[in-house]
Chains A and B, each alone.
Chain A
Amino acid sequence: MSDKKDITLTINDRDHNISVDPRWTLADVIRDHCGQTGTHLGCEHGICGACTVLVDDTPVRSCLMFGIQADGKKIRTVEGLAKGNEYHPLQKAFMENHALQCGYCTPGFLMLATGILEAQPDISDDDLNDVLSSNLCRCTGYANIIKAVRAARDEMKAAS
């Protein structure tokens, strides 16, 4: 089965030179071969969004992409959100608004929201709801996730 190819994955500005099976999903490569386990797998069929990462700044379900397809692309995961000891506004807002309980879906929501707020800093509440409804959470009932992302949007806008 093995016909490995050498690729370079750039995850959070760090290059990982690895040899991958073409059939390995990006999520598995990030987790098992680059050691970045903050990206979680919830369904492996593209519905729950827990594995969302940014590929060239666009939110992508890393269970639906092969690792080899990300060769040379810029990948951002939850591990890269904080700058040193400084939390990203979304991370802060999630903690302040109790937008997580078990925390399993959280990295996916954080990366989805990061992608969308960077692309559309002025996004309306309604449009934000549309985007965020593409990910599943089983603990919070979503109300606090909405609150947190809106708070982060407002803070990021004020800071820019």
Chain B
Amino acid sequence: MATATNRMLGHLGDSVERLEDPPLVTGKGRFVGDINFPDQLHMRIVRSDHAHGKIISIDTSAAEAVPGVVAVWTTEDIDDVPPIDFREGSDPTLALFRQYPLARELVRYVGDPVAAVFAEDPYTAEDAAELVVIEIEPLPVLINADDTPQDFKGQATTEAAIVEQGYGDIDTTFANAFKVVEIDVKVSRHTGVPMECRGAIGRYDEARDVLEMYGAAKVPHRNRDTLCRMLNRPASGVHLFEGHTGGGFGIRGELYPEDVLVCVAAMRLHRPVKWIEDRREHLMAANHSRQQRHIIRAAVAEDGEVVGLDDELYLDQGGYIRTHGTRVANMTTGTLPGPYRFPVYRSICHFRLTNKTPAATYRSPGRCESTFVRERLMDAVAVAMDMDPIAIRRRNLISLEEMPYGRALDVLGDSVEHDPGDYAGLLDQGLAQIGWDDLQKTLAERRANGEMVGAGISMFFEKSGLGPSDGAKIFVDNEGFIEVVTGGASIGQGFETAMAQIAAEDLGTDYRRIRVVHGQTNRIDYGVGAHASRATVLTGTAVSLTAQAVRAKALDMAAELLQTSAESLTITDGVVHSKDNPAGPSLTLGEIAEALIPTSKLRGDREPYLKGEEWFHIDHQTYPYGHHIAVVKVDPDTGGVEIEKYFIAYDIGRSINPMMIEGQLVGGLAQGVGGALFEEFTYSEAGDPQAVTFADYLMPTLQEIPNPEILLTEDFPSIRTPLGIKGAGEAGITGAAGAIASAIDNAIGIPGAVTETPVSPQRLKKILRKHGK
């Protein structure tokens, strides 16, 4: 990187330093906690300490009497505010299960917001919150999604939905199978846990009748639309502002009860209202994720072809259905077949409420879970058929010749059609790079010498770039500075840098001259935000198309001024000049911009300004792919697992910034290791959460995370995007639990031993004891 500083920097494929970094390493970041407004109030939420019960009474009088307390609200104070609606629009079939900003009649999990205290400072608000007395009549607590569903408000059961997907004749296929292999596996409840807790500031500008919310993230435009719908306000009168965001991972930035409360309170109390979550609240109130149990069976032919897959799963949604609706169920059932052919398939998801924190998406939602389940099954099929685990996978991979490969499955409204890719070819490259055969020999020798060491593999396909559309605007000012305005979001992934690199490519300028705007709903009408690895694919392509349009306009204007043809010109370092004679007559982008101002006589009949706005529309998502390989060592005395070596192979299509892509893969892997070995939200029978501090919710430190070897290929640029790019945000996590589980089985010599994540020391000791090891 440092070697490149003397040339025009930051085009596609360059691992340049990030534009985001200087303020972040000097303490100049603007996270929501760093933002304050004069006369602001501080909000503290009083949360239920019962997992399920009827609210008998709430006594706020003692809290209200505390000096400095301005108001204490219960749901009766905001009985005109509807429950929080779904991000993608209303859904009458699920409407009953939505969460009110403050609990109404019932509490449904420990952490459910019941009252809100507004005070002059956060210490006072927290003191007063302690004085709110809530009387609850306990109701039966439902902890497990695979137990019999209970009544929900006398109008439904806690089985809120059944989501089913599939194709082909399951019954005949299984009746005629050579062998049927069945497993019963669980993924634990865990989640993103960004280092910054959530926060929101509501501010009502009465002079202009504009409601503002600071602390927005991930999907500011979608949240604006939901707020407008809930509060009956015009989009022109609600602005959301994203500042720096301390990690997203899918959970930060959805519209939560607290976000709605600060907005409503700002309007009704006529003062800005700030809310900053603490970690204990975060671990019981922000979205959880992942918890599923799958009972899945494979119908196998004599040669090892898996001819049918039949899955029944229980998804633990927690207390309510939040903004995502049933999207995790849809993605799980839509992606379970992964990179394999599986000609007949069925998955039935029991989407059930329990009395735990509501669940939603966490990095690689649905794919992380389904990949673990599917790869556990492939290992089990290999054992049942007495075949090598690599051979069984090869036998079933979709081949390059079959691409693009369509399936009668739906992922978020998009029918699945695999982009061309060579799954077996990348597997060959990966196995060669890691020296798989030699590795097997070495590990066998070490096992013969008494060590518990083993290797495992997990293959996956990812999804990215869900459409249908995104737009971007570019403006070049008279000094030649460039502003790229997007509706994307920056959650730490390097969005600004990636967009600047893409724009710099066509504008022929240094990426550091480009300012990238994101997450400001008053700057652009529409935006997809940052989720599901789509920002670079969708917004990036829109930026590229816009940059091309602005380039064309610049060259057209310059051609007239320089008395030449646009085709003979190019742009280097912000200067338009002749391709053949770089030292000849030239114009800067700033000079061209000046020639295009509305009053310019040079402009002719061109539209004013050197600017553009273009849209990108995509028919199908892109489906990047790869595999993970783990080598682990198990300590039979402690049940601890040490990851000795880790390898990730991934086809990205085309890199914008390889350094940032590798950063995404390694960072994703760290979260994958956490979910595979350490992280779990456990509950008591009474529904009390047992992991509400970092002493109980164990996130990996650098001692637990391997530095993986990465094979990043660009063998198959996506056919769905003009730049060929595919998403990178989730591939580091998707394959982790499957590869680690497989390696642990191999290390302890017990096929199919791991049926549940995280493989904690306690769980592993139990497995070893059961098998007399």
Contacts and interface: CB of A to CB of B under 8 A. Distances in A.
B581 interface: no
A104 to B, nearest CB: 3
A41 B693 CA distance: 14
A101 to B, nearest CB: 4
Contacts of A42: 195-197, 279
A59 to B, nearest CB: 16
A79 B28 CA distance: 8
B492 A139 contact: yes
Contact of B279 (A45, A130, A138): A45
Contacts of B31: 37, 40, 104
B703 A139 contact: no
B611 interface: no
Interface stretch (B243-251, B428-436, B532-540, B714-722): B243-251
Given A102-B491, A133-B702, A21 B123 contact: yes
Contact of B193 (A21, A45, A138): A138
B195 A96 contact: no
Contacts of A110: 25
A156 B248 CA distance: 34
Interface in A114-160: 129-130, 132-146
B693 A87 contact: no
B702 A142 contact: yes
A107 interface: yes
Given A96-B1, A104-B247, A37 B33 contact: yes
B196 A38 contact: no
B82 interface: no
Given A44-B279, A102-B492, A129-B703, A140 B667 contact: yes
Contact of B27 (A39, A87, A95, A145): A39
A47 interface: yes
B175 interface: no
Contact of B694 (A31, A37, A45, A102): A45
Contacts of A77: 27
Interface stretch (B14-22, B49-57, B97-105, B350-358): B14-22
Contacts of B705: 141-143
A68 to B, nearest CB: 14
A81 interface: yes
A87 B25 contact: yes
B605 to A, nearest CB: 47
Interface in B372-408: none
B602 interface: no
Contacts of A82: 26
A26 interface: no
A82 B245 CA distance: 23
B702 A104 contact: no
B21 A138 contact: no
Given A37-B27, A45-B695, A144 B2 contact: no
A14 B561 CA distance: 56
Interface residues of A, number: 55
Nearest to B703: A133
Contact of A101 (B22, B124, B492): B492
A45 B693 contact: yes
B123 to A, nearest CB: 7
B303 to A, nearest CB: 40
With most chain A CB atoms within 10 A of its CB, the pick from B33, B247, B491 is: B247
A106 interface: yes
B123 A1 contact: yes
B26 A103 contact: no
Interface in A36-58: 36-45, 47-48, 50
A106 B246 CA distance: 10
B146 interface: no
B2 A141 contact: no
A98 B693 contact: no
Nearest to A79: B27
B166 to A, nearest CB: 36
B660 interface: yes
Contacts of B24: 100, 103, 106
B502 to A, nearest CB: 18
Interface string B688-717: 000001110001011101011000000000
B17 A96 contact: yes
A130 B18 CA distance: 28
Contact of A95 (B22, B127, B667): B22
Contact of B194 (A81, A138, A145): A138
A85 B668 CA distance: 34
Interface residues of B, number: 59
Interface in B255-300: 278-279
A136 B701 contact: yes
Interface string A6-43: 00000000000000010110000001000011111111
Interface string B176-201: 00000000000000001111110000
Contacts of A41: 33, 197
B25 A102 contact: no
A25 B220 CA distance: 33
A37 to B, nearest CB: 4
B26 A79 contact: yes
B669 interface: yes
Nearest to A93: B25
Nearest to A21: B123
B702 A48 contact: no
With most chain B CB atoms within 10 A of its CB, the pick from A37, A103, A129, A136 is: A103
A32 B127 CA distance: 18
A42 B25 CA distance: 17
Nearest to B23: A103
B29 interface: yes
With most chain B CB atoms within 10 A of its CB, the pick from A43, A81, A100 is: A43
Contact of A139 (B18, B25, B247, B694): B247
B493 interface: yes
Contacts of A43: 279, 693-694
Contacts of B18: 95, 98
Interface in B76-120: none
Interface string A71-113: 0000001110110000100010011101011111111001000
Given A38-B27, A43-B693, A98-B663, A103 B701 contact: no
A39 B660 CA distance: 25
A147 to B, nearest CB: 9
A78 B196 contact: no
B618 interface: no
Contact of A98 (B244, B246, B659): B659
Given A95-B25, A102-B244, A104-B247, A140 B195 contact: no
B666 interface: yes
B318 interface: no
Contacts of B668: 141
A103 B702 contact: no
B670 interface: yes
Given A48-B195, A48-B694, A103 B492 contact: yes
B494 interface: yes
27 contacts: A1-B127, A31-B34, A36-B27, A38-B29, A39-B27, A40-B195, A43-B279, A43-B694, A91-B26, A95-B21, A102-B245, A102-B248, A103-B24, A103-B244, A104-B31, A104-B195, A104-B246, A105-B246, A107-B27, A129-B702, A138-B671, A138-B699, A139-B247, A140-B663, A141-B670, A142-B670, A145-B702
Interface of A: 1, 21, 23-24, 31, 36-45, 47-48, 50, 77-79, 81-82, 87, 91, 94-96, 98, 100-107, 110, 129-130, 132-146
Which A-B residue pairs are the 7 nearest by beta carbons? A38-B27, A102-B492, A103-B24, A104-B246, A141-B670, A142-B702, A141-B666
Interface of B: 1-2, 17-18, 20-29, 31, 33-34, 123-124, 127, 192-197, 244-249, 278-279, 491-494, 659-660, 662-663, 666-671, 693-695, 699, 701-703, 705, 707-708, 732
